[in-house]
Structure 1
Amino acid sequence: MNIYKEELSLPDSVDMKPWYIVTNSFKIDMVIGGTGGDVTSNYLINAYIPKTESTSSVVSAALSGTPMLTFGDGSGPKVLIVAGVHGNELPAPIAAIQLINYLNGKSIKGTVYVIPFAIPYDTAISSRYWQGQNPNSVANIPGTPTNQIVNLALSLNVNAIGDFHSTQPGGVPGQNAILCCKHPTYESHNIASYISTQTGCALISSYQAGVDYPGALEDVCNLAGIPAVTCEVLSAHNTVASGSNDVSLSQMLAFLQYYNII
């Protein structure tokens, strides 16, 4: 538009830089478009997340799509933390925002990528489904948000992924638990064992990825050669059971401690 104002003609092409925000401690990139929503319209999310400048930056970014925060300069161990794959599982996104505020300004030994709201629109309305599909059953289908996260992790060459959820009483697994596999990435089992020991959460290990939960983000990542675990806390859908977000945060911190990042 400046060129048109000065020369009264439009250029044949323009270069557009990717959308991102840089703060003193972290960078926010928009990694998936078309998934945005006002997560603070979910009254429980709004009630529990810390009211800080960092939180405001993330909430604003989530209006446009799926934001990813980067702590560190890309060196050392690189890990990806994902929350909010299911929009009606609220403790993990709250814990992810708590983690972001915890990491802000801290010196870390490595690189931490955090996706606090995988599908902000779903979190805003507490929906488990995205476009009629369970996002954690279609990570193997090109174009889905979870498949885009898998491809993002591959492009970032991360050492591991932690996918954080909550589980209903009487559901599967129906308890605070760390899920993993032994094949083809035994490191998944090692990570889960460590988090389980540190947090007191149950360890649930499958022999082969993609059998018990085909299409799950964890399984698709493990099959792609990226060690991944699923961390569950006990809380009914659309609720935040007492202390559940703190248990989720402790799982995230243990995940980072496994790699000596904090």
Structure 2
Amino acid sequence: MSNENSSKDVKIPKSREIYYYVLMGHIYYWINNLLLKRLKSNSTIGNNNLQDNQNNQNQTNETRLKLDIIKEIPGSDITKNIEIMSYIPENSLNNRILDATKKGSPLITIGDGSKPRVMITAGVHGNELPPQIAALKLVNYLQNINLRGTIYIIPFIAPVASAENSKLFNNENLNLAADVTGSPTNMAFKIAQNLDITSLADCHGTSTDPAKTSVIYYPSIKSSKIAVYINRKSHSTLLALAQEPGMLITLCNLHEIPSVICEVESPDGVASPESIEVSYNQMKAFLSYHHVL
């Protein structure tokens, strides 16, 4: 394997940078809310005709779900992880996805390929369970609604680590390996590039410092706008990213894919209904920001 970035220096954002990007994110949030209120106010006139048009559009714009397998990533039997399975209801869709993990990493596409094209990833650390479970819950929800755009979900980036309930994949921290050619996180990045993804949310659990439910943004206006929106909608603490080249969202942001990390407080190797719901709400807030839902 080779590194796509030769430097491994971690860049810590300065306080003035943090203030600036948070301020820009909040300004966008306020302006966006103001515009939405005005649009809703103006839409009261002729609302019946508008509703008829929307109903007609919904009848012809059915959501489509496609399941692919990233076979370059080693597969494993997720059902061996009893903690994960205790929160995943048995149905035909979940069974298809879980069966796919035996052959590689599942990639679920929901929508018709139109923009915006957004991606949600989970399982970078196999023992951070709430986002992986929440991702399957989200897939089940999305298959029954109409979308404005396309959603790509990778619920288990490293099935081997998830099946073993392990933070590491082949003794490697995948959150530091996105710039390593051939690693699962590097493959996820390249898939995002090839699909011309508009934006990406990488979802984690956390039990180490700062060990709090949070949304972490890359120091850029586009990333901070997404993060502030998720912060306001899901009550997640807003944090700036220490830019480690091997992080998936660092690589994405450096290649013009605005990205954030969503973290839910949770002990390693376990999940709870509350932590799953928090992660699920973070994912939905990310989708709502992009007006996909």
* Residue equivalent to 2:217: 180
Q: Equivalent residue for 1:229?
A: 260
Q: Where does residue 220 of structure 1 map in the other structure?
A: 251
SS at match of 1:33: coil
* Aligned-partner Cα distance in 2 for 1:25–1:194: 27
Would you say how many aligned residue pairs link Structure 1 and Structure 2? Answer: 231
Q: Is the 8 A contact 2:108 2:154 kept in 1?
A: yes
Unaligned runs of 5+ residues in structure 1 are 1-23
Match of 1:195 in 2: 230
Residues 229 and 285 in structure 2, CA contact (< 8 A), matched pair in contact too? yes
Given the alignment of the two structures, is residue 57 of structure 1 paired with residue 93 of structure 2, yes or no? Answer: no
> Does the aligned pair in 1 maintain the 2:73–2:158 contact within 8 Å?
no
Q: 2:271 aligns with which of 240, 254, 262?
A: 240
Residues 1:251 and 2:288 are matched in the alignment: no
The TM-score, its normalising length taken from structure 1, stands at 0.85
In 2, Cα distance between equivalents of 1:92 and 1:61: 18
TM-score by length of 2: 0.76
Q: What are the residue-to-residue correspondences of 1:2-151 with 2, within 5 Å?
A: 25-151=64-190
The runs of 5 or more residues in structure 2 that have no matched partner are 1-62
SS at match of 2:86: helix
Letter in 2 for 1:238: G
The whole-number CA distance in structure 2 between the counterparts of 1:229 and 1:173 is 16
Find the counterpart in structure 1 of residue 196 from structure 2: 157
Which has the larger strand fraction?
1
Following the alignment from structure 2 to structure 1, what is the Cα–Cα distance between the partners of residues 93 and 272?
Answer: 25
Which SS does the other structure have where 1:260 is aligned? coil
Cα distance in 2 for partners of 1:148, 1:32 equals 11
Structure 1 CA distance for aligned equivalents of residues 275 and 81 of structure 2: 17
Q: Where has structure 1 moved over 4 Å in runs of 4 or more? A: none
Structure 2 distance, partners of 1:32, 1:162, is: 22
The whole-number CA distance in structure 1 between the counterparts of 2:246 and 2:186 is 9
Aligned alpha-carbon RMSD (Å): 1.3
Alpha-carbon distance between aligned partners in 2 of 1:82 and 1:34, rounded to the nearest angstrom: 14
The secondary structure found in structure 2 opposite 1:91 is helix
Letter in 1 for 2:263: E
Cα deviation, residue 105, structure 1? 2.3
Deviations 1:129-166 (A, max 9, x none): 11221001010111111011111100000100000000
Counterpart contact for 1:182–1:205, Cα < 8 Å: yes
Alpha-carbon shift at residue 92 of structure 1 (Å): 0.4
Distance 1:220 1:237 in 2: 25
User: Percent of pairs identical after alignment?
Assistant: 38
List per-residue Cα deviations over 1:85-122 (Å, max 9, x = no partner): 10010000000000010011211111000001001111
Question: Does structure 2 conserve the Cα–Cα contact (< 8 Å) formed by 1:25 and 1:105?
Answer: no
SS at match of 1:243: helix
Cα deviation code 1:30-54 (max 9, x no counterpart): 1243421111110111110122111
Distance in 2, Cα, partners of 1:32 & 1:145:
10
Amino acid at match of 2:82: Y
